[in-house]
Amino acid sequence: LLFICDVPTKLFELVKLVQNSNSNRSRVTSKILCSYFSGAGVGTVIMSFLLGTYYNVIIAWTIFYLFQSFNKAGLPWSDCSKPWAANSTTCFDATNTTASNNSNSPTQEFFDKVLLQKTSGIDDPGEIRLELVLALFFAWILVYFSLWKSIKSSGKVVYVTATVPYLLIGIFLWRALTLPGAYLGLQYFFKPKWELLLKAEVWVNAAAQNFNSIGIAFGSLIAFSSYNKRSNNIILDTWAISLTNAFTSLLAGLIVFSTLGNIAQEQGKDIDEVVAQGPGLVFVVYPQALAKFPYANIWAALFFFMLLILGLDSQFATVEVIVTSLKDGFPNWIRKYIKRHEILVLIVCLVSFLLGLPNVTQGGIYFFQLIDYYAAAVSLMYLAFFEVIAVVWVYGANRLAHNVKEMTGRMPSAYFRYCWYFIAPILIMAIWLFSMIDYSPPTYNKGEYHYPPGAIALGWCIAMLSIGPIPVFAVIAVIKAKGNTFMEKLRNSLRSQIDGCPCCGRPDNCRDASLEKHNGADSYPISLKIYGEQIMVAIDKVLSQDLTD
């Protein structure tokens, strides 16, 4: 999946038309590509907005743990002798002699009973956790003041926040590998289970993990690439980011499963029985390893500070997509009523904070899992497929390849073009279709909790917020397109608004036997000038339409 789907898709997201035209206009880009598929751009923005409302909850949890790390009495999740565990009948650590089937590690107990104080289900929301509300509000304050002067204000900070954590990861890895029972977790981690390859859920989760960790189909790559220099080597960036991400994921997996092996040995259980589910993994497994460090409080504080800055880096990208899309989608309204970038960022952060409040109730973890499943996992592959189709089959893979050549000085290999044309769209759609065929409602706590029908219906409503714009905008595009018959309107709505061959300026219908010849290097200097002019003409058309509207 990394090499045949993620890397090629990442490359065209980095180039597309945004960087090529030195513009950060996501709406203009979608209209230039194809008005028929403009709903994919709208759906991407909605998905990013939904992601932003609950992703900051993880940062709020991180802030809570960060403050708990300064407890003078030691880390509160280190063992079952702490005051919060006095009445617990399920807390089990190495000092106990027996463990029941429903026993949990002290880190799991702390997460469930101190941080979440979780109720029995989503239909029992309980009370709002004031500590988490304050932490969530503080997290949004950090996001706001990092972005209120645009993403460039936080650019230099990212050089530090994205590199220093590797030093800490190396230290945590060393400690995890030296824990008793670590080898049990490593055996589980590296032992293949070939029968699982026949399950669509495995492929969907793998693709979603790759897309989530790299940021594909969320709009963040497109937004950030617009700040690159036009001559930036995006091919090198694509490989560097993808391989670094894969290497980092491997390191994280080694730490997690080494620690799980330690937990399993202490409790006398199999690895399957102690694997944490969902976002709680990082707040259960890593703290277990941290509690065994000398000067554990210091290392815990460093770890959760690292987690905080990494989480903020990801949230910056999400909020930037929303803010940029609003400015580009409603330029006249923004200029007339909001006027200042700082106010727009404030509104986005405030609305996102309010919509995130259901996640910080005592039953918030159930809503968190529900929205995470339907807002991202269900719709992500669907949106990615139509993005690939719009770019590769409407705008054109050959055009895209020449865009890369104009910026880097060389054509992308045939590998990229084959993946763009066939492998990536077929694989993405196959994964999405099989996930729908093999669909099963989400569960929580290793399948022990099943969501009621009302919650499942709510989840599909959330999913339709990002999936629905694609057919809606497609119908609108056909209705507004020029033509006397339905087929004429359909063809025109599927047509890219950039006319002419990207390398010689000839009309689109010049695809004949001489295509290979006139795509040669001899025509390159002329094509760059003509193609640049055509991009500006198309942008002017869209902006003129905005003014008249």
Domain interval for residue 311: 2-472
Asked whether residue 545 falls in the same domain as residue 445, the answer is no
Please check if 30 is assigned to a binding site: no
Residue 491 lies in a domain: no
For residue 534, count other CB atoms closer than 10 A to its CB: 18
pLDDT per residue as tens digits for the range 294-337: 888 998 998 899 889 888 888 888 888 888 888 877 888 888 88
CATH at 363: 1.20.1740
Asked whether residue 509 falls in the same domain as residue 423, the answer is no
Please check if 120 is assigned to a binding site: no
Residue 542 lies in a domain: yes
**For residue 443, what are the β-bridge partners?**
450
DSSP 160-223: HHTTTHHHHHHHHHHHHHTSTTHHHHHHHHHS--GGGGG-HHHHHHHHHHHHHHHTTTSSHHHH
Report how many domains make up the chain: 2
Asked whether residue 44 falls in the same domain as residue 129, the answer is yes
Report how far residue 133's alpha carbon sits from residue 139's, in angstroms, rounded to the nearest whole number: 10
* Residue 236, token pair as written in the block: 């090198």
What's the pLDDT score for residue 86?
Answer: 63
Asked whether residue 40 falls in the same domain as residue 179, the answer is yes
Please check if 515 is assigned to a binding site: no
What's the pLDDT score for residue 338?
Answer: 85
Please check if 546 is assigned to a binding site: no
What's the pLDDT score for residue 198?
Answer: 80
Asked whether residue 389 falls in the same domain as residue 517, the answer is no
What's the pLDDT score for residue 452?
Answer: 94
The residue ranges of the chain whose pLDDT is under 70 are: 15-33, 85-89, 92-103, 150-159, 161, 223-224, 226-228, 275-278, 280, 497-549
From 452, 472, 492, the end of a domain falls on 472
Task: Please name the residue that has the structure tokens 């000085």.
Answer: 409
Tell me which long-range contacts 150-153 makes (C-beta under 8 A, separation of at least 24): 150/341, 151/223, 151/224, 151/227, 151/316, 151/320, 152/227
Asked whether residue 453 falls in the same domain as residue 532, the answer is no
Asked whether residue 382 falls in the same domain as residue 526, the answer is no
Cβ proximity of 379 and 467 under 8 Å: yes
Cβ proximity of 302 and 308 under 8 Å: no
State the pTM of this model: 0.81
What's the pLDDT score for residue 366?
Answer: 94
Task: Please name the residue that has the structure tokens 């645009």.
Answer: 150
Please check if 213 is assigned to a binding site: yes
Residue 478 lies in a domain: no
Our CA angle for 331, 335, 338, nearest 5°, is 115
**For residue 128, what are the β-bridge partners?**
361
Residue 405 lies in a domain: yes
Asked whether residue 254 falls in the same domain as residue 166, the answer is yes
Q: Which residues are within 8 A (CB) of 469 and not within 5 positions of it... i.e. 6 or more apart? A: 39, 40, 42, 43, 46
* Residue 525, token pair as written in the block: 């200097």
Asked whether residue 379 falls in the same domain as residue 523, the answer is no
